[in-house]
Chains A and B, each alone.
Chain A
């Protein structure tokens, strides 16, 4: 069940919002069309009953102009509504893509010192959270790597001047720092 939900509704908030919007518009359009057609046919037949002098060869002469008129009106309105909805949906996605572009550009440059924000309500909150966790973890790990590198550099700089006993301690410390660097780097799966 969970797998099926994942396949069909990857993001419930986002998908249901737009599916409901499009289906709601269609339902409303078709309902209005039915209502208008039934109402028009009724009132038109009523007006013929009231005026028996008007000659008709079939009821189709009443129905045809009504259904044609209503289909044109309803189609024109629904076309406009769907166009506006699609443009709003496009704008929403365009904004999302813009934010992603900025993030991708920063990540390509190796920049992890920023917070990822989509400003998208609850739609992609989980994606936003996942990116921010990823940024925070890497920011910490990489900063620690950079610090360890500086520590090693400093420790190496003090080695030649150290006396024999101090040298032993320094080398042990250096080994520990190098091991720390190695441990941190081995936490990454690179191949």
Chain B
């Protein structure tokens, strides 16, 4: 499953940022608090205390910037990662709202690195199937409406024979079969 690799590579990236922050902190701390020790015990004592002070001050100040930079990178990586899931879910939500409003003339497009692409394709197929079946039903209904108007007109004119009327009714029955067939695709109960 491609998503699993995405999660692992994201986790690895976060780890690398932390590891780099630690490595840079190590190097900086080493050079900031590395003093030569020579001479008497008292001189060494002074150097050790200076080194201790430098190590503490450096760890709490300069390294804070390195670590803040790593945290900023992690924030950006997490934002991008969560977008790969939240983005498609947001698009699905908007698609559901459009369908509820009766709009079936659209397709769901996801960004290149988004997850859930198969689900988006599946939803597009579902929308397309629905659009197709309803388009069929609409075509049959237009025919049916025309024939129903003809039938009503026949009531007020003497120009139509009984046979012609029967023909219209037969045609209407055929249209209604077409509509029934198109709508039978949908399970509503």
Interface residues of A (CB under 8 A from B): 8, 10-11, 14-15, 18-19, 22-23, 26-27, 29-30, 33-34, 37-38, 41-42, 45, 48-49, 52, 56-60, 62-64, 67-68, 71, 74-75, 78-79, 82-83, 85-87, 89-90, 93-94, 96-97, 100-101, 104-105, 107-113, 124, 126-127, 130-131, 133-134, 137-139, 141-143, 145-146, 149-150, 152-153, 156, 159-160, 167-168, 171-172, 174-175, 178-179, 181-182, 185-191
Contacts and interface: CB of A to CB of B under 8 A. Distances in A.
Nearest to B79: A19
Nearest to B130: A110
Contacts of A131: 92-93, 96
A84 B36 CA distance: 44
B123 A14 contact: no
A57 B144 contact: no
Nearest to B144: A178
Contact of B44 (A18, A56, A74, A153): A56
Contact of A67 (B19, B29, B48, B71): B29
Listed from nearest, the 3 A-B pairs whose CB atoms lie closest are A86-B11, A104-B122, A59-B51
A78 B67 CA distance: 14
A104 B100 contact: no
Nearest to A151: B176
Contact of B104 (A59, A126, A190): A190
Contacts of A172: 152
